Amino acid sequence: MRVWLGWLALVFVLSVGFAQQRTLTVSGFGLNQNLIDKNITRPFEARCNCKIVWEVGNNADRLAKLAARKDNPNVDVALLGDYFAQLAANQGLLERLDTSKLSNLNELYEFAKNPLGGNLAVAFTIYAISIAYRTDKITIPITSWRDLWRPELKGRIALPNITTTQGPPVVWLVNRAFGGTDTDVNPGFERLSALKANVVTYYNQSAQLAGLFAQEEVWAAPVGRFAWGNLLATGKPLAWARPSEGQAGVSNVAVLVKGSRNQELAYQFIDFIISREVQTAQANDLVDSPVNRNVRVAADKAAQLTYGLQQIASLRIVDPDYIVKVRDAWIQRWNREVAR
Amino acid sequence: MLSQSPARLAAWILLSPALLFVAVFFLPPVIALLLESFHVGQTYGLQNYLTFFADDFNREVYWRTLWISLLVTLVSALVCYPAAYAVLKINPRWRGLIIGLIILPLMTSPVARTYTWLVVLGREGIVNKSLVETGLLQEPLRILFTEWAVFIGLLQLMMPLMLLSLVSAMENLPKDVVPAARSLGASEGQVFWRVILPLTREGLVVGGTLVFTGCVTAYVTPALLGGPRVTMLATLLYQKAGVTVDYAAAAVISAVMLLTTLLVNFLLRGRAVKTARAA
Amino acid sequence: MRESRFPIVMLGMALLFLVGPFVVVFISAFSGDRTLAFPPSSFSLQWFAKVLTVEAFQASFVTSMWLGVLSTLLALLMGIPVAYALARYQVPGAEVIRVILTSPLILPALVVGLALLRYFVLIGNNSISFGLLIGHTALLLPYAVRVVSASLANLSRDIEDAAHSLGANRLQTFFRVVLPNIRGGVAAAGVLAFITSFNQVPVSLFLTGPGVSTLPIQMLLYMEYTYDPTIAALSTLLILFSILFVLLTERLLGISKYV
């Protein structure tokens, strides 16, 4: 009997001990999670003697969850696309960052230090959005966004759904390519609506694209550069288009959730993911393109990333405030005119 | 026999945990959600419903959900009636195995079941491969991400329910009914239409209800096999509640879904059960 | 008169349609290729190994297990008394009670999940795990009542009356006479309930949070990110697990007559 009690007590003590280990909850994208665990989660857990719990999903789902739990947040740090973070800020979900606690901040490119203003976010990566396509099926290279309307591509392309991060930037670029402006988006929507016959599906997760390419459902699709590693892994011959109208650019930022009870750890985490070591590792694994200027990668890797100030400067970055303003209207128009 | 009062008390004691559980933990949230659909600003009204159905995208989604569900119900009834008949005529030794095979899909998650169609229906999937290789098609068909893919997925998901209902109903047929009809000169067709069908009507209704309501509320299959272009009621609900955070619309969709399933349940089953009970 | 072949052909086709895809999954699970392609060009056990390494699966498997066990226990604890009361007593409003208790089955599970999330978890400030437990238990309760009722119906009252006349009170009669005789029904109800909970998707869809998620939901999420036969391997394992579980309880308790 006493032996039982002893074991019980031991188990109890141990479990209480474990329960008291600090936990940091991070909301993230989930793409390449195994690489993220290798480069970020495990090294950080070792360093801080804490545990990271991830909540993964696409931007829209996670933002909805943050909003739903506004009064009782269960997430400490969120990694979001820039305009999604702006949406979160507008809803009062974020805590202003104390930049003195981020020792690596000065190593970042200027635009990454305070991308939304008010020190609400820090960018940890930036990526280009362009068209990935099969070079064996599409022998004439794609050199313009208008090429998606080629008749040979009937039933062979996928577009990002309007609720994904790539959605609005693609609409914006297409609109510009057909002569529209920031205030007149009719050209863009009309052309996208006319594209229906070419579209197989509107993907909600860029990871779905790898499957669509692998299964021969799709020959071309606009996508973010962060998915390039995944797409190459399908083994299909692919190329990254350099359209004359330009490639869009979106940065992913880290934000501190208001009401987080783990601010110490949160700051350490954000500082960690913008550090040179982590940014280099992520770049080498083709997970995220670096925004830390001290990162050096080999030329062949750099060619697969959005690397270096020159490339970054060439991107057409849509103002997050603009997207926040037009998003609801665009979602309505999209559902009504395009995704039917 | 025990006297009435202590028996009554005992019965209520036995019933109370379950009743309390449902009444306290389960029903209030659901009722609150349904009430929310009538909540317009500070007052109550039907405004949310009007707004919802005024949008033709929403109407399209609802209509699509209804007709696909109806089609699945019809096709499964057409296939399962003869199939159920066959199950009963099969050597009893094999019957257990067959029933096991039919129950097997019900024991797996809809995720696993739907996943298989991603492989089978893709452009490089077996269906297309065999059609192309045998020369029946020039180019592979686009099946995935269309209403047909959702139809096929739902049909596979729901068929066991229909099959089991019909088998169960047919098992309860008096043994000599069919041979009697035959000996009176009825053909196979007449036996079916005028003997079997009327007598197993309740099984058909039960199965049909299960299949129809199952399709109306299905999420996984439309989400995976249909994509955003084939939005159905359940995927629309998820979008409204989990993505665009439009709780008014989500509440309306929930109420619509509930009303649709309740209507089917009580209209059809209520009547069938009443006639069976009266019999 | 010649028997038509039509019924048996339809049965064959139906079975092919129902079981065929499982065969596909089963074969894909052993694929030696890097991505999902059918038929596979080579065979290997790599995907089974991979399943065991995915952390999300491990954590959610544990969640699904405790959720299944706990909700099954709760459903049985509440359901057996209900079945007994409805079978042995004249309860006024028995029909209404039956309707209330079966309501979880009639309500769309997706709506249940959303309602619990909105009002129970977010507004009521309860944990997601608690919400999951409520949702699953509510869904299992009707099954428990139905199956146990069926086996109670087969148990003649005489045995209880006999025990009574020998001096046993109600409680003793229940635990020493009734329960052992409906053991098979209870086990059947338990198995059915557990498997239903384990494979549940719609209720669990909304009720996920960081660190709390069920296995089917994680499978769904995984499928959206990765395109390889890992899910095929996991599905195969789960199907085998379900079959084994059912067979085992069938062997031990002989439950097939109650389903």
pLDDT tier at B271, thresholds 50, 70, 90:
low
pLDDT tier at A8, thresholds 50, 70, 90:
low
Domain regions of chain B by residue span: 45-278
B13 at the A interface (CB within 8 A)? no
Which residue from C37, C206, C246 is facing B241, i.e. has the nearest CB? C206
Q: What is the pLDDT of residues B232-245, one digit of tens each?
A: 999 999 988 888 87
CA A56/CA A54 separation, integer angstroms: 6
Position B146 pLDDT exceeds 80: yes
Q: What is the pLDDT of residues A277-319, one digit of tens each?
A: 999 999 999 899 999 999 999 988 888 888 888 889 899 988 8
- What's residue B44's pLDDT? 83
pLDDT tier at A11, thresholds 50, 70, 90:
low
Instruction: Say whether B124 and A215 touch across the interface (CB within 8 A).
Output: yes
Mark out the alpha helices in A137-275 (DSSP H runs). 167-177, 186-194, 206-214, 228-232, 263-273
B245 at the A interface (CB within 8 A)? yes
Tokens of B183: 């000996």
Beta bridge partners of A240: A132
- What's residue A97's pLDDT? 94
Closest-CA distance, C175 to chain A, in angstroms, reads: 28
Which residue from C14, C36, C223 is facing B163, i.e. has the nearest CB? C14
- What's residue B222's pLDDT? 93
- What's residue C126's pLDDT? 82
Helices C128-153 and C55-88 meet at what angle, rounded to 10? 40
Domain count, chain C: 1
Q: What is the pLDDT of residues C153-165, one digit of tens each?
A: 878 788 888 888 8
Instruction: Say whether C35 and A31 touch across the interface (CB within 8 A).
Output: no
Only one residue has tokens 């109650």, namely C258
A77 at the C interface (CB within 8 A)? no
CA B252/CA B53 separation, integer angstroms: 10
CA atoms within 13 A on the CB side of C220: 25
C257 at the A interface (CB within 8 A)? no
CA C224/CA B111 separation, integer angstroms: 12
Q: What are phi and psi of A118, to 5 degrees?
A: 65, 15
- What's residue A193's pLDDT? 93
CA A120/CA A114 separation, integer angstroms: 7
Task: Write out the DSSP string of chain C.
Answer: -PPPSHHHHHHHHHHHHHHHHHHHHHHHHTB-SSS--SS-SSB-SHHHHHHHH-HHHHHHHHHHHHHHHHHHHHHHHHHHHHHHHHHHS--TTHHHHHHHHHHHHHS-HHHHHHHIIIIIIIITT--HHHHHHHHHHHHHHHHHHHHHHHHHHTS-THHHHHHHHTT--HHHHIIIIIHHHTHHHHHHHHHHHHHHHHH--HHHHHS-BTTB--HHHHHHHHHHH--STHHHHHHHHHHHHHHHHHHHHHHHH--GGG-
Chain centroid to CA A185: how far? 25
Q: Which residue has the higher pLDDT, A66 or C5?
A: A66
Position C64 pLDDT exceeds 70: yes
Instruction: Say whether A203 and B56 touch across the interface (CB within 8 A).
Output: no
For the domain that residue C103 is a member of, what is the CATH number? 1.10.3720.10
CA atoms within 13 A on the CB side of A222: 33
Cα Rg of chain C (Å, integer)? 22
A24 at the C interface (CB within 8 A)? no
C41 at the A interface (CB within 8 A)? no
Closest CA to A153 of A209, A202, A219, A89: A219
CA A133/CA C53 separation, integer angstroms: 32
The answer for B 43-72 residues in CB contact with A (under 8 A) is 55-57, 60
DSSP code of B230?
Answer: G
Instruction: Say whether B123 and A203 touch across the interface (CB within 8 A).
Output: no
Mark out the alpha helices in chain A (DSSP H runs). 2-19, 33-36, 42-48, 59-68, 82-90, 110-113, 167-177, 186-194, 206-214, 228-232, 263-273, 276-284, 299-302, 308-314, 320-333
C55 at the A interface (CB within 8 A)? yes
Tokens of A226: 């962060």
Q: What is the pLDDT of residues C93-118, one digit of tens each?
A: 888 888 888 888 878 888 999 999 88
Only one residue has tokens 């098609």, namely B137
Q: A104-118, A155-169, B262-276, C15-29 — which is least confidently predicted?
A: B262-276
Q: What is the pLDDT of residues B32-86, one digit of tens each?
A: 998 988 888 778 888 888 988 998 889 999 999 999 999 999 999 999 988 988 8
Mean pLDDT of A213-227: 90
List of E strands, chain B: 39-40, 43-44
Q: What is the pLDDT of residues A228-250, one digit of tens each?
A: 988 888 889 999 999 999 999 99
Q: Is the Cα torsion angle B30, B35, B40, B42 positive or negative in sign?
A: negative
CA C259/CA C253 separation, integer angstroms: 13
Beta bridge partners of A52: A24
Its domain, for residue C242, covers 54-258
Tell me if A164 sits within 8 A of A268, measured CB to CB.
no
A128 at the C interface (CB within 8 A)? no
C221 at the A interface (CB within 8 A)? yes
Q: Which SS3 state, helix, strand or coil, does residue A316 take? A: strand
Instruction: Say whether A207 and C125 touch across the interface (CB within 8 A).
Output: no
Cα Rg of chain B (Å, integer)? 23
The per-residue pLDDT of chain C, averaged, comes to 84
Q: Measured at the alpha carbon of residue A295, what is the angle toward residues A292 and A299, in degrees to the nearest 5?
A: 130
Position B278 pLDDT exceeds 50: no
Closest-CA distance, B132 to chain A, in angstroms, reads: 14
Helices B56-89 and B247-264 meet at what angle, rounded to 10? 30
Contact list in C for residue B182 (CB cut-off 8 A) is 1
Tell me if A162 sits within 8 A of A332, measured CB to CB.
no
**Residue C167, phi-psi category: left (phi > 0), alpha (psi -120 to 50), beta (remainder):** left
Q: What percentage of chain B has pLDDT greater than the value 70?
A: 94
Residue of C111, C203, C236, C250 to mutate for B, most B C-beta atoms under 10 A: C111
Position A27 pLDDT exceeds 90: yes
Q: What percentage of chain C has pLDDT greater than the value 90?
A: 14
Closest CA to C155 of C79, C84, C249: C84
Q: What is the pLDDT of residues B96-117, one digit of tens each?
A: 888 888 887 887 778 877 877 8
Taking CA atoms, what residue in B is nearest to C3?
B188
Tokens of B118: 């991603």
Instruction: Say whether A235 and C35 touch across the interface (CB within 8 A).
Output: yes
pLDDT tier at A9, thresholds 50, 70, 90:
low
Position C256 pLDDT exceeds 70: no
A161 at the B interface (CB within 8 A)? yes
Tell me if C232 sits within 8 A of C28, measured CB to CB.
yes
Q: Is the peptide bond before C39 cis (omega within 30 degrees of 0)?
A: yes
B142 at the A interface (CB within 8 A)? yes
* Buried/exposed code over B61-96 (b: 16+ C-beta within 10 A; e: otherwise): bbebbbebbeebbebbbebbbbbbbbbeeeeeeeee
> Whole-model pTM?
0.84
Closest-CA distance, B262 to chain A, in angstroms, reads: 29
Closest-CA distance, B242 to chain A, in angstroms, reads: 6
pLDDT tier at C176, thresholds 50, 70, 90:
confident
- What's residue C156's pLDDT? 79
Predicted complex ipTM exceeds 0.90? no
Which structural domains are found in chain A, ordered by start? 2-125+251-315 (3.40.190.10), 127-249+319-338 (3.40.190.10)
Only one residue has tokens 């029909």, namely C95
Which residue from A69, A72, A207 is facing C225, i.e. has the nearest CB? A207
Position A16 pLDDT exceeds 60: no
Please classify residue A204 by burial: count the beta carbons closer than 10 Å to its beta carbon, then call 0-12 exposed, 13-18 middle and 19+ buried.
buried
C17 at the A interface (CB within 8 A)? no
Contacts of B208 (CB under 8 A, 6+ apart): B73, B77, B162, B268
The per-residue pLDDT of chain A, averaged, comes to 89
Q: Which residue has the higher pLDDT, A182 or C226?
A: A182
Contact list in B for residue A216 (CB cut-off 8 A) is 122-124, 140
pLDDT tier at A89, thresholds 50, 70, 90:
very high
Q: What are phi and psi of B65, to 5 degrees?
A: -60, -45
Whether C7 is in a domain gets the answer no
The correct CATH number of B45-278 out of 1.10.3720.10, 1.20.58.220, 2.40.110.10, 3.40.640.10 is: 1.10.3720.10
Q: A113-122, A327-336, B4-13, B75-84 — which is least confidently predicted?
A: B4-13
Beta strands at A199-203 and A157-160: parallel, antiparallel or unpaired = parallel
- What's residue C8's pLDDT? 87
CA C148/CA C254 separation, integer angstroms: 14
- What's residue A295's pLDDT? 92
Residue B150's identity, in one-letter code, is V
CA B118/CA B221 separation, integer angstroms: 10
Which residue from B56, B140, B228 is facing A201, i.e. has the nearest CB? B228
Which residue from B21, B118, B242 is facing C78, i.e. has the nearest CB? B21
- What's residue B1's pLDDT? 47
Closest-CA distance, B92 to chain A, in angstroms, reads: 43
Which residue from C55, C117, C224 is facing A207, i.e. has the nearest CB? C224
CA A32/CA A232 separation, integer angstroms: 13
CA B10/CA A64 separation, integer angstroms: 48
Q: Which SS3 state, helix, strand or coil, does residue B39 take? A: strand
Q: What is the pLDDT of residues A118-175, one digit of tens each?
A: 999 999 999 999 999 999 999 899 999 999 999 989 989 999 999 888 999 999 999 9
- What's residue B279's pLDDT? 44
CA C212/CA A74 separation, integer angstroms: 12
Tell me if A97 sits within 8 A of A283, measured CB to CB.
no
CA C46/CA C63 separation, integer angstroms: 25
Contacts of B3 (CB under 8 A, 6+ apart): none
- What's residue B274's pLDDT? 53
Whether C42 is in a domain gets the answer no
Residue of B57, B127, B243, B245 to mutate for A, most A C-beta atoms under 10 A: B243
Q: Which residue has the higher pLDDT, B128 or A273?
A: A273
